[in-house]
Amino acid sequence: MQYIRFFATIGINDVGLVGGKNASLGEMYQNLTQLGVNIPNGFSTTRDAYDLLLAQNNLAQRIDALIKDLDIEDVAQLQSSGKAVRELILNEPLPVEIEVEVSEAYAQLSASYEEHNIDVAVRSSATAEDLPDASFAGQQESFLNIRGELSLLIHVRKCFASLFTDRAISYRHSRGFDYRQIALCVGIQKMVRSDQASSGVMFTLDTQSGNDNVIMINSIFGLGENIVGGRVNPDEFFVFKPTLKANKSAIIKRQIGSKEMKMIYDDKLKTLNVSTTLNERTRFSLSDDEVVTLARYALLIEAHYAMPMDIEWAKDTSVGEFYIVQARPETVHSKRLHDNKPSTIKKYLIKEDTSKCTQLVKGIAIGEKIGVGVVKVISDLSEAARFNAGEVLVTGSTDPDWEPLMKKAAAVVTNKGGRTCHAAIVAREIGVSTIVGTVNAMNVLQDGTEVTVCCAEGETGYVYQGRVDFEIEEIAVQNLQETKTKLFMNVGNPEQAFGLASIPNHGVGLARMEFIINNHIKAHPMALYDMQQGRYVTGSEEIEHLMQGFADPESFFVDKLSAGIGMIAAAFYPKPVIVRTSDFKTNEYQHMLGGEAYEQDEENPMIGFRGASRYYSDAYKEAFKWECVALKKVRDEMGLTNVKVMLPFVRTPDEGRRVIAIMNEMGLVQGQNELQVYAMCEVPSNVILADEFLKVFDGYSIGSNDLTQLTLGVDRDSTLVAHIFDERNEAVKRMLKMAIDACKKEGKYIGICGQAPSDYPEITEFLVEHGISSISLNPDSVLKMRQVVVEIEKRLGKK
Catalytic residue among 421, 455, 628, 753: 753
Task: Name the β-bridge partners of 502.
Answer: none
- Three-point CA angle 24, 53, 42, nearest 5°: 30
Rounded Cα distance between 249 and 238, Å, is: 11
Of 256, 219, 618, residue with least CA distance to 421: 219
Where do the DSSP E strands lie in 396-485? 411-414, 433-436, 450-454, 460-465, 470-476
SS3 labels along 745-756 = HHCCEEEECCCH
Do 740 and 752 contact (CB within 8 A), yes or no?
Answer: no
- Is residue 545 flagged as an active site residue? no
Tell me how far the alpha carbon of residue 255 is from its chain's centroid.
Answer: 10
How do beta strands 184-190 and 214-221 pair? Answer: unpaired
How do beta strands 344-350 and 470-476 pair? Answer: antiparallel
Rounded Cα distance between 133 and 175, Å, is: 9
Other beta carbons within 10 angstroms of residue 749's beta carbon come to: 20
Of 157, 162, 161, 45, residue with least CA distance to 106: 45
Rounded Cα distance between 797 and 174, Å, is: 54
- Is residue 421 flagged as an active site residue? no
Of 25, 5, 39, residue with least CA distance to 108: 5
SS3 content of the chain, % helix, strand, coil (to 5): 45, 20, 35
Rounded Cα distance between 9 and 17, Å, is: 12
SS3 labels along 524-569 = CHHHHHHHHCCCCCCCHHHHHHHCCCCCCHHHHHHHHHHHHHHHHH
Do 715 and 695 contact (CB within 8 A), yes or no?
Answer: no
Question: What letters, b where the CB count within 10 A reaches 16 and e where it falls short, cover 387-401?
Answer: beeebbbbbbbbbbb
Rounded Cα distance between 86 and 167, Å, is: 13
Catalytic residue among 173, 422, 506, 524: 422
Task: Name the β-bridge partners of 126.
Answer: 184
Cα 332 to Cα 23, 297, 352, 401, 496, distances in angstroms: 21, 22, 29, 20, 19
Do 162 and 141 contact (CB within 8 A), yes or no?
Answer: yes
Amino acid identity of residue 522, one-letter, is K
Side-chain half-sphere of 235: how many Cα atoms within 13 Å?
Answer: 23
Other beta carbons within 10 angstroms of residue 180's beta carbon come to: 10
Q: DSSP labels for 588-617?
A: HHHTSBTGGGT----S-GGGSS-THHHHTS
Give the active site residues: 422, 753
